[in-house]
Structure 1
C-alpha cells in the first residue's frame, strides 16, 4: 500500500512538473510575441512611439498628414480611414482593445484638413479624387502592399475606401467598408422613408422646418436631433455615456470640410454638398479583393443595403451587428471586433470561402 502511494505521489509530482513546464513555455512564448509586436527598434518612428508626419503632394503644394503605427505584423497591416469628412482618427481608439491581442498591426491616420494633420484653407482640396491620391501616397510611405495591406473605411471613410479600391485595388490584400452604403441617393431615401417616420411626428416636422430655413445654427436643431436621432442611430448610449475618444473626435471636426462635402444637414446629405449624388453601386462587382461590409440594425445607413453590397462583391462578406448603430464599434463592440478580426485572419490564412 505504501509503495502504491509512493508511486502515486511521484506521478503527481511529475505531472505537475510537466504542467508547470508547459505553462512556463506558453507564458514565455506569449511574452515574446507581445514583445515582438510592440518592438519598434530600427523603425523611423521609434523615437515617437510610432507617430510620424507624412509629406504629401497636392495640386496646391505639399502638406503633412499625421499617422501613428501600432504593433508589428508582416502580413496583417490595417490603415484606418476615419469618417466626417473632416473627422479624426480618435473615434478608432477602441481598436486598441482588440487588434493588438489578435496580432494585427494598424495605423491611425488623420486625413488632410483633419485635426492632427495640416489644415489648408483652400476648399478646392476637398474632393474625393484628391483624397484617393492622398491615401495612395500614405500607403507608399508606410510600405503597405498587396501582401499585407488591409484598408478599413468607416462612414465617409467607407466612401473613400471604395473609391481607392476602384482605382488601386492591385495594392490591397483586403478591404473593409464599415457602416457605409454605396449610394448617397439610397442613403437619403432611407433617412426620409425609414428613419424619419421613427421620430415623433411633431419632432420631425420641426426638424424639417429648421432645415427648410437653412437655420442649422439654431440650438433647437441639435436639441431635437440628439435625443431623437443621435442616441438612437449614431451611438445607442445616453449622451453622457459617450466614450471620450468619440467626444474628442466631434470636438475636433473640421466643419469647413464637413459642410462642403456632407452638407449642413444631419439627416442625410442635402443642398450643394459635393457628395450628394455619389453612387458606386453599379461598380461594386469591379472590386475583386476580399471585402467585408459592416452594418448595424440601428445604423443611419440601411443594413439591408450593406448586406446587398456584400452580395455584389465577388469576394464579399457581410458582418451584421444586431445591437449596433452607425458607431457599431462601440455599441455592438464584441460582434464588430469578433467579425472584423475573423475576416482579417481568414484572408491572411488564405481561406477562399468568405
Structure 2
C-alpha cells in the first residue's frame, strides 16, 4: 500500500527546454512510414482508452505498416502486462510503486496527457445541482459512517439544499484501476483516518457498506450508477459525454486551498501547473490535492508504461515514433485532447517525457 508522494526535483532550465522542444517538434509529426508491418499491443486505463483509441486509429491511417490494438482493461492490467511483456504499451492513471520500479528498472512511466476524475451521483431531483463535497465526507461515505444523503456533514456543505433521507449507495471499481488510485489518494491526503486504515492503491480492501456496489471499468460503473437511484461514484472525465447523457450530477470538490471546484480546463491546468515543477526525471508524481488557487483536486498524469528494452530495434523504433507523435504539441493533437477533456503536457513535462521515450531501444 502506497501512502506518500514523491519528493520535489529541480526544474529544467528554459534554454534547455527550448532546445528540446525544437528537436522534439522536428522529430514528431514528420516521422516516416514503417518499412514493414508491425503490430503494437496497448492495454490498460479505461480513462485513457477513448483518447488512445483515437491516437491509434489516426496514427495507423497516416503511418503505413504500423497497427496498434487498444484494450480498456484497467490500469492494474496495463501495469502488469507492460511489466510482463504481454503488451508493448501499458496505459495507466497510476504510476508504478517504488517496489515495482525497483524490481523492474527497465520499465518507464511516461506521462502522455493530463486528466481528471469527477465525482458523480444519481440523486433524483438534484442531478442538475452541483452538490459540494469534500475529502472527509467522501471518506466517511465510503467507510459507511455517513449513510444518508441528508446527513449533517453533507447538509452543512450544502445549506439550503433539500437533501433526501435516503441511503447513499457508494459504487467503486471492482477491477484494479488508476481511477481508484487517484480517488483514494484524495481521501488519503485529506482524511487522516482513511490514511491510517486504508491508504491508496489501484485496488484496496473497501469497507463493507450495506448496499454498496462495484463494477469493472468506467463504463461499467457509470451504468450501475445510472440504474441505481441515490448512488455515488468516481469516473474519468473522458466520459463527460456519457455522464451528461446519463443525466448524472457532478459534485464540486473541495480543493487543498478550500475552494469548491468543478473539473474544467482551467482548474485542471491550474492543478497541474502548481505541481509539474516538482515532477522528477522518472515522472512518478501525484497531482492530487495540488496547492494553489483554482486547482481542482482530482487531477493525474495519464501514463504510457513501456519497457526500454524491446524485442527488436524495429519494435523499439515504432514505439518511440508513435509516442513522440502522440505528445507532439500541435493543433491536431490539441483537438484530440480537447475532445476527451484532457489537457496537453506543460513544456517542462513534455521535455521529461520526450527524454524518457528516447531511451526505448
- TM-score by length of structure 1 reads 0.33
- TM-score by length of structure 2 reads 0.33
Which structure would you say has the larger RCO, counting Cα contacts within 8 Å and 6 or more residues apart?
2
Between Structure 1 and Structure 2, the one with more helix by share is 1
